[in-house]
Structure 1
């Protein structure tokens, strides 16, 4: 009888370990999926920017500094495409700030604001910014779930044994970077 009890306990422990391991793998995969979603949206934004800049260039020939800042920020964001969440968020925050300045400067050009191409690019940019925000929220939620499982007892026993690590949140560094560029018509 004692042998059956020990066997039942052993089976329960092994079952719990398998369940915990699979749960941690699932949470890690959701985190990776979330990061992939952010990556896709950031790529959409960097692909949209050259078209927006070309539309704006014709109207804003003497605003070269603003155009160059956006171009440089985009180049930096593209170069950092394989960086981790902390570095990537800093690069993308700088790009968001530069885009905000570009949109603000564009307000001074009534012909540009009336341009159908410019309006379409502004709408597309606003849509992409919304998608980036949604992707960030999904990713950070997946990171939260993974981190909770990695740190909580008893799943932390399995996490430590199989070397699961906490995920890194995708956060913006300061309030200025958190502001979505204003889109006005």
Structure 2
């Protein structure tokens, strides 16, 4: 059974939590961008309707027509809607900016955790290699200790260097 490391578990759990939050914010960002697009198309339709009313006014030769009164009411209503849509656009745009910041922060944290894990894995592999070298050198020293004591001294120096690198 593999050795269970509580720190690895906690890092994995933290990564999963951040990844879930990242996914949630990413979905929220997509929804907000769609909403912004819808608001812009609604604003465009309102502008087109306002332009139609102004064109109809220009073509109407009567100064006081009954249609003018209705057009004025409709213009007020459309301009009120336009202001509401502009407020909604501003609100959604601000939320998009904040959500993008959150997405970037979550992405940074996820990448940092991933890099730390990769670095930790590389360090473990490096330590394993050093330990294997150390074991080989110790066994070699044992074999040659009776035959070549000077060579043992050289091997002990290299063992010492490996131990320093392990720190």
Give the TM-score, by structure 1 length.
0.47
The whole-number CA distance in structure 1 between the counterparts of 2:20 and 2:83 is 34
User: Is 1:127 equivalent to 2:81 in the alignment?
Assistant: yes
* 1:156 equivalenced with 2:108 (yes/no): yes
Number of residues paired by the alignment? Answer: 109
SS of equivalent residue, structure 2 residue 82: helix
Question: Cα distance 1:120–1:59, how it changes in 2: closer, same or farther (>3 A)?
Answer: closer
1:1-27 deviation line (CA, Å, top 9, x unaligned): xx45x2x22111111111111111211
CA contact (8 A) 1:24 1:159 kept: no
2:39–2:85 contact (8 Å) kept in structure 1: yes
For the aligned residue pairs, the C-alpha RMSD in angstroms reads 3.3
Matched, 1:17 2:15: yes
Higher relative contact order (CA 8 A, sep 6+): 1
Segments of structure 1 that go 5 or more residues without pairing to the other structure are: 62-108, 163-185
1:157-184 CA-partner distances (Å, limit 9, x unpaired): 315789xxxxxxxxxxxxxxxxxxxxxx
Greater fraction helix: 2
Structure 1: 4+ residue segments shifted above 6 A: 109-113
